[in-house]
Structure 1
Amino acid sequence: MRDVYVIGSYGTKFAKLPDSSFKTLTREAYQGVLQDAGLESGADIENAWFGNCGMGTFGQRNIRGQVCFTPLVREGLFPERVAMINVEGGCATASMAFHGAWKDVLSGQAELALAVGVEKTFVPDAPERTLEIFEGGIDQFDTQEWQDYYTHAGEASGKPFQPNAGGGTVFMDTYAMQAAYHMKKHGTTQRQIALAASKNHHHGSLNPKAQYQFEVSVDQVMQDRPISWPLTRSMCAPVGDGGAAALLCSEDFLQAQPQAVQDRAVKVRASTLSGGKYRDLDEPGLSHVAAEKAYRLAGLGPDDIEIAEVHDATSFCEIYQSEMLGFCEIGKGGGYIESGATALGGARPINLSGGLVSKGHPVGATGLSMIAELMLQLRGEADARQAAGRSGDGVPRIALAENGGGVIGFDEAACSIVILERTAG
């Protein structure tokens, strides 16, 4: 297999953007990634992958990427006749687009490939559309199957399954039951979950593109409006809109670029996807499986990871994913967060972007926004939230992104792990 590099990455600001369209978000993400890559045009792009979850709710059920790129093709900004592959995988959608572009370059099908994820989930005049988008992330054909699963899980966790009781989606209730079970079995506390939330709101306050750019103390998190116990509003990702993109290239393509471009490129050490199932409550989650695949592919282990972006749709997820990714022992995630290891300046900072709870979570764009944050970190361009790394030169070398989408029981329906390495410097 040949080496693949990320030559450019970009994320729009995440926010509630009722006046921004899918096409305007696509345009910003595309032009932003070209500029970041140091390319004057996209003429060399050979394949493109477009990720989106909810556009069908707005009437565009098919050919979503082709529709969003039509103005760019017409204006000569995007090359004609380029294959545009549309993908959808719940909250892992943008990571699937990244994985497709990575495989195109890896296999020799392309020297330069584009991945884009765009989403709008805030619909102020029709909130039922927002609900429709999220409902697509769980089985709508055999609803009794997951209702029975969650009812059983509620009995085991001591938290009865009462969907939408706090005004959130069913996903918040599933996360809450997992948190309650973890608390019951391992002694994790609500305050430890609040610590993760407060820490990421601090990171988000340093990120000019975060949806929430304000501090929230641990006590404020604890006292915020309940969504589904033990989760409060500050522990849950908000609804919002945004786009993100990445350009991936071969080593031959990279070597033909100016030295300044080469110096900012980052190698993809691994990109893996795994699929979920209805698992036993004590069985390791899907992200553990995806991470093990990625570590094998990269020839690395958890101890090699210096920084990470993980899918904290709720702040409990950071505790859980720290365990699944091997950053700490099973059951010790709460204490790991409490130790300060995952904070800016800690041994392994996690979610320096602010995570989903502060940066925001436009589902079809989230995975590529994680890549954009890690690229900033690995290039030493993250300003006030820059991690120091371990190499002694003040910048991390190895980073990991974990992104899960949809649910099958307590598993994600799909999970992506990407491992990136800075090779310059």
Structure 2
Amino acid sequence: MPDAYVLGAFSLPFGKYPDTGFTELATAALRGVLDDAGGTEIGREVEGVWFGNMMMDHWGQRSSRGQFCLMPAIEAGILPTRVAITNVEGACATGSMAFQGAVSGVRSGDHELTLAIGVEKIVRPDAPASTVFEMYRGAENSLDPGRTTAIYTDLLAGIGQRFCPGPGRTVFMDTYAAQALHHMHRWGTTPEQLATVAAKNHNYAVNNPRAQYRFPMTVEQVLADRPVTPPLTRSMCAPVGDGAAAVLVASSEFVARMPPPVRRRVVRVAATTLTSGTYRGPGEPGLSAVAAERAYRRAGLTPADVDVAEVHDATAFSEIYQTEMLGFCEPGQGGPLAESGETGPGGRIPVNTSGGLLSKGHPVAASGLSMITEIAVQLRGEAGARQVNGARVGLVENGGGILGLEEAACAVTVLQKA
């Protein structure tokens, strides 16, 4: 299979952009990734674009989103006229799906330089919180809405608990909380272990200028924060925010034509895989375990080879669970792994050095590409105070939507220092 390389990677700081539109956010991310790859002029050589967005329909644009959103950049000569643009949507996995499209375009031989870009606006100061939470409903199974509720009702009934979705949060916080309660009942995972993950990620974000939250937290502060839905407190849940991120993918031939300073910073795409969810039982492995196994096999690597990882920590429990599914520890040992310090600075497998979605932020369609950006920065040795020494292999796990006890889709990407 032909090689593909990350030539440029960039993420805007995530946060609240009430006065900035989709076009402006996308253009800023585009300029940023082109600058990272050596200069704006390279944009005119992009042959294919995969444009990721989930919620633009709530702002009135229901179709052909990338074509309209990127038109100002095309008219300004940043991207070529008539460039191929493919629109991508996969809930929270949208950014990674766009990246997979860009990689496939290069590996197929159809293109030498491709662009994956994700942009999202979620913050609506003029609307009540219920309106914002409603925007997330598109990531549920609206064709069979009662099935997920029944699954979680049965899951919690089996441990003497009730599934009670409520106001002031998305249903995803309720389903994550239910999974956490079940995990705690089965494996002995503790609230303190959840808080350890959240505190670690908040503390990592202090040194990430692109993070939405950049203040340190202690385990005690996380536990004392406002409850969202048991056992989750606010600090254990990803915030609502806006943002955009972009990644350029190039062929070996394209990289060979670039000047030495650019070539020295490229990162090889060792593997990228996608799995779709199913209505599984609580004792079965999640779809991220399947995606990871495929990615390791394609890359010719094992979990022990991974030096740094970004995983989809929409809640603190998510990180604990994904470290198990990705093979960094045995099932049920994600809590003790976090508590041991092995996923933090200087640990065996640092996880979410960006601050994770918990602190870096989670503007849905941009999230996966921001995770890929963090791993690229780590493998280049450019992460500053949060740098993982000697990092040569990095992994990204990014899930989206909800299908019973797991996500509707999950992408796992393995990147390697070139």
TM-score by length of 1: 0.97
Instruction: Decide which of 152, 155, 161 is 1:153's aligned counterpart.
Output: 155
State the one-letter code of the partner of 1:400. Answer: L
Name 1:344's counterpart in structure 2.
345
**Secondary structure, aligned partner of 1:136:** helix
State the one-letter code of the partner of 1:328. Answer: C
In 2: Cα distance, 1:173 partner to 1:284 partner: 20
In 1: Cα distance, 2:171 partner to 2:160 partner: 17
In 2: Cα distance, 1:280 partner to 1:268 partner: 33
In 2: Cα distance, 1:220 partner to 1:406 partner: 30
Instruction: Decide which of 138, 148, 168 is 2:140's aligned counterpart.
Output: 138
**Secondary structure, aligned partner of 2:95:** helix
**CA positional deviation for 1:205:** 1.0
Name 1:391's counterpart in structure 2.
none
Q: How does 1:324-339 map to 2 (within 5 A)?
A: 324-339=325-340
**CA positional deviation for 1:39:** 3.3
State the one-letter code of the partner of 2:100. Answer: H
In 2: Cα distance, 1:37 partner to 1:133 partner: 34
Q: Is the 8 A contact 1:194 1:221 kept in 2?
A: yes
Which ranges of structure 2 fall in alignment gaps of 5 or more residues?
Answer: none
In 2: Cα distance, 1:158 partner to 1:106 partner: 51
Per-residue CA distance 1:23-82 (angstroms, 9 max, x = gap): 111001100000001134211110000000000010000011111111111111110001
Name 1:36's counterpart in structure 2.
36
**Secondary structure, aligned partner of 2:173:** helix
State the one-letter code of the partner of 1:338. Answer: E
**CA positional deviation for 1:157:** 3.8
Q: Is the 8 A contact 2:40 2:78 kept in 1?
A: no
Q: How does 1:231-270 map to 2 (within 5 A)?
A: 231-270=232-271
In 2: Cα distance, 1:76 partner to 1:158 partner: 61
**Secondary structure, aligned partner of 2:246:** strand
**Secondary structure, aligned partner of 1:146:** helix
State the one-letter code of the partner of 1:195. Answer: T
What percent of counterpart residues are identical?
54
Per-residue CA distance 1:277-333 (angstroms, 9 max, x = gap): 111011111100110110111111100001000000000111100000000000011
Q: How does 1:169-248 map to 2 (within 5 A)?
A: 169-248=170-249
Q: Is the 8 A contact 2:31 2:40 kept in 1?
A: no
* Residue 417 of structure 1 pairs with residue 412 of structure 2: yes
**CA positional deviation for 1:20:** 1.3
State the one-letter code of the partner of 2:385. Answer: A
**CA positional deviation for 1:156:** 2.2
Report the RMSD for the aligned CA atoms in angstroms. 0.9
In 2: Cα distance, 1:201 partner to 1:339 partner: 17
Name 2:86's counterpart in structure 1.
85
Q: Is the 8 A contact 2:133 2:169 kept in 1?
A: no
**CA positional deviation for 1:349:** 0.4
Which ranges of structure 1 fall in alignment gaps of 5 or more residues?
Answer: 389-394
Q: How does 1:44-63 map to 2 (within 5 A)?
A: 44-63=45-64
Instruction: Decide which of 162, 179, 185 is 2:164's aligned counterpart.
Output: 162
In 1: Cα distance, 2:345 partner to 2:21 partner: 34
Q: How does 1:247-326 map to 2 (within 5 A)?
A: 247-326=248-327
State the one-letter code of the partner of 2:352. Answer: N
Q: Is the 8 A contact 1:158 1:181 kept in 2?
A: no
TM-score by length of 2: 0.98
* Residue 406 of structure 1 pairs with residue 406 of structure 2: no
Q: Is the 8 A contact 1:271 1:417 kept in 2?
A: yes
Per-residue CA distance 1:135-189 (angstroms, 9 max, x = gap): 1110112211111111111212433110025x21110010001100110000000
In 1: Cα distance, 2:40 partner to 2:243 partner: 24
**Secondary structure, aligned partner of 2:407:** strand
**CA positional deviation for 1:384:** 1.0
* Residue 75 of structure 1 pairs with residue 76 of structure 2: yes
**CA positional deviation for 1:357:** 0.5
User: Which runs of at least 4 in structure 1 moved beyond 4 Å after TM superposition?
Assistant: none
Name 1:392's counterpart in structure 2.
none
